[in-house]
């Protein structure tokens, strides 16, 4: 078989990628795993709660994708196969074992796309409420913001900016851009954070509108995000979900963090879904109720922003033949950009959404694999440090050749 393969770790370093082990019996699988009818070792389960990672428990008693999960191709619709990792997928121009004619190939590279993140921080007076250890929500939130921006200081792959809302003297003042998005802004963001929260309302919709029209998130060469942190509910007549939907239409995704018990769970979940960042678990947004959870949420978001968008340096001959896996689990192509991945011709990018991005955000070092041609779980990938290589695997190289500094070897 020929397949075109890309591999990158979530930490932005090239490494060997793992695959689901082939098997004929459970004895060949690790502890707690079964050999699925498709010959793949998958985690055994009785309920979805035992799976994690956004997976569900199939009728065969193994953990699979929650969207189009399968353990064997007969679980799938006509014309589909059960791809490695347990996801029903269209097999391309022929069955997965149909040989070179079914796959084709071309050698090219891809890199994780640099990202812009505008932090939109709730400054309403409710943020002065004490949550633990005599520390207010405001002190906790500003420290978490300082930490995540300082940790990424000097990292050109991740740029931050800051917007604070609401502002006195008007209760529903949606704020302004306090620190423009750019590199090395950690110091400026730290200095721009007031010592106390003094706003008198929570104009989430209007604040998001300021973010959308600020010009801070229009760079076509970078992935663009809003990171909203709020402890309350919209109370100024705004339309936060519509604003997030509008941002998404402009290519800007919105991460939503609810801090404390007074947030609108349903609305924040809708914002996460419309913003292209919905999580696999409930709630769909990031909920934080203490210092550790808030810091963990911001760290995971920073990881996802830096690791869920990949720029291909050559255009795929036929984007419909792309397949994407995270840690060996193939995810479906999802043009709605909710739970899977999508290819964007503008910018020549593959972007992860929902559970796929959630896995990368929560698991430092998670492996993202992009295969052109046919999904193939028998591939071993090796790439030179500092870049993402792709090539034809199996058979001959078709005249493309292999990089002299350690590209992907042929698998026979």
- Residue 406 in any domain: the answer is no
Cis check: omega of the bond before 388, within 30 degrees of 0: no
Examine the pLDDT at 121 and tell me if it is beyond 90.
yes
67 and 210 housed in the same domain: no
For residues 144 and 279, membership in a common domain is answered with yes
Domain stop point among 307, 336, 359: 307
pLDDT tier at 378, thresholds 50, 70, 90: very low
* Same-domain status, 317 and 301: no
pLDDT at 77: 72
Mean pLDDT of the chain: 78
Q: Does residue 409 fall inside a structural domain?
A: no
pLDDT-wise least confident of 4-8, 85-89, 321-325, 392-396: 392-396
In a domain, 235, yes or no: yes
Q: Among 67-81, 228-242, 316-330, which is the least confidently predicted range?
A: 67-81
Distance CA 150, CA 341 (A): 30
Structure confidence at residue 92 (pLDDT): 45
Place of tokens 């992860």: 352
Cβ contact 279:286 at 8 Å: yes
Q: Is the pLDDT of residue 195 over 90?
A: yes
Residue 396: count of CB within 10 angstroms of its CB: 10
Domain end (from 292, 307, 322) = 307
- Please tell me whether the peptide bond between 169 and the residue prior to it is cis, using omega within 30 degrees of 0: yes
Identify whether 394 is part of a domain. Answer: no
Q: What is the pLDDT of residues 267-301, one digit of tens each?
A: 999 999 999 999 878 899 999 999 999 999 999 99
Query: Do 90 and 133 sit in the same domain of this protein?
Result: no
- Kind and range of the H or E element at 291? helix 291-307
User: Which pLDDT value is given to residue 32?
Assistant: 86
Query: What's the CA gap between 150 and 84, in Å, rounded?
Result: 39
Do 166 and 282 fall within a single domain?
yes
Measured CA to CA, the distance from residue 260 to residue 358 in angstroms comes to 21
Rounded distance, CA 183 to CA 42, Å? Answer: 42
Which residues span the domain enclosing 153? 112-307
Domain count, the chain: 2
Is the domain of 152 the same as that of 229? yes
Would residue 189 count as lying in a domain? yes
Do 120 and 178 lie in one domain? The reply is yes
Between 94 and 395, the more confident residue is 94
Q: Are residues 62 and 82 in the same domain?
A: yes
Q: Which residue has the higher pLDDT, 150 or 388?
A: 150
Do 82 and 58 fall within a single domain? yes
- The pLDDT value given to residue 66: 67
Chosen domain end from 252, 280, 307 = 307
Q: What is the DSSP string of 299-335?
A: HHHHHHHHHSEEEESS--S-GGGEEEEETTEEE-B-T
Whole-angstrom distance, CA of residue 224 vs CA of residue 218: 7
**Range in 50-64, 102-116, 124-138, 168-182 with the lowest mean pLDDT:** 102-116
- When pLDDT is averaged across residues 300-322 and rounded to a whole number, the result is 86
Residue at 405 is within a domain: no
**One domain for residues 300 and 321:** no
Domain identity same for 165 and 289: yes
What share of the chain in percent tops pLDDT 90? 45
- Position 390 scores a pLDDT of 34
Q: Are residues 134 and 260 in the same domain?
A: yes
Question: Would you give the DSSP letter of residue 69?
Answer: B
What's the maximum distance between 2 C-alpha atoms anywhere in the chain?
A: 71
199 or 22: which leads in pLDDT: 199
**In 3D, which of 127, 121, 120, 257 has the Cα closest to residue 198?**
127
Residue 51: inside a domain: yes
- Higher pLDDT among residues 100 and 26, named by residue: 26
Which band of pLDDT confidence, cut at 50, 70 and 90, is reported for residue 205? Answer: very high
Do 269 and 297 touch, CB atoms closer than 8 A?
no
């Amino acid at each position: 078989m020929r397949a075109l393969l890309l591999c990158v770790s979530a930490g932005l370093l090239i490494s060997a990628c793992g695959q689901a082990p082939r098997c004929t019996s459970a004895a060949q699988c690790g502890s707690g795993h079964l050999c699925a009818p498709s010959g793949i070792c998958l985690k055994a389960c009785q309920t979805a709660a035992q799976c994690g990672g956004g997976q569900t428990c199939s009728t065969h008693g193994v953990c699979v994708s929650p969207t189009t999960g399968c353990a064997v191709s007969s679980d799938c619709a006509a014309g589909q196969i059960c791809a490695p990792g347990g996801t029903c997928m269209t097999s391309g121009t022929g069955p997965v074992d149909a040989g070179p004619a079914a796959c084709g190939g071309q050698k090219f590279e891809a890199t994780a796309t640099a990202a812009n993140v505008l932090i939109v921080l709730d400054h309403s007076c409710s943020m002065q409420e004490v949550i633990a250890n005599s520390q207010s929500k405001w002190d906790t939130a500003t420290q978490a913001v300082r930490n995540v921006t300082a940790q990424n200081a000097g990292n050109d792959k991740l740029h931050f900016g800051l917007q604070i809302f609401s502002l006195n003297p008007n209760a529903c003042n949606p704020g302004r851009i306090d620190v423009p998005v750019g590199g090395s802004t950690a110091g400026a963001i730290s200095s721009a954070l007031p010592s106390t929260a003094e706003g008198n309302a929570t104009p989430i919709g209007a604040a998001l509108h300021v973010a959308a029209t600020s010009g801070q998130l229009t760079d076509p060469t970078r992935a663009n995000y809003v990171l909203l942190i709020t402890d309350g509910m919209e109370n100024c007549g705004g339309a936060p979900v519509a604003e997030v939907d509008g941002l998404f239409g402009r290519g800007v995704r919105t991460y939503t963090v609810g801090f404390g018990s007074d947030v609108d769970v349903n609305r924040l979940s809708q914002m996460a879904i419309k913003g292209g960042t919905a999580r696999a678990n409930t709630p769909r947004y990031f909920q934080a109720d203490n210092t550790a959870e808030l810091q963990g949420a911001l760290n995971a978001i920073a990881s996802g922003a830096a690791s869920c968008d990949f720029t291909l340096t050559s255009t795929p001959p036929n984007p419909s033949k792309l397949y994407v896996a995270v840690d060996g689990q193939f995810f479906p192509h999802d043009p709605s950009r909710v739970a899977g991945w999508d290819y964007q011709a503008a910018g020549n990018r593959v972007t992860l959404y929902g559970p796929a991005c959630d896995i990368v955000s929560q698991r430092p070092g998670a492996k993202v694999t992009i295969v052109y041609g046919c999904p193939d779980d028998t591939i071993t990938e090796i790439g030179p440090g500092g870049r993402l290589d792709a090539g034809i695997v199996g058979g001959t190289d078709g005249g493309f050749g292999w990089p002299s500094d350690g590209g992907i070897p042929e698998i026979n």
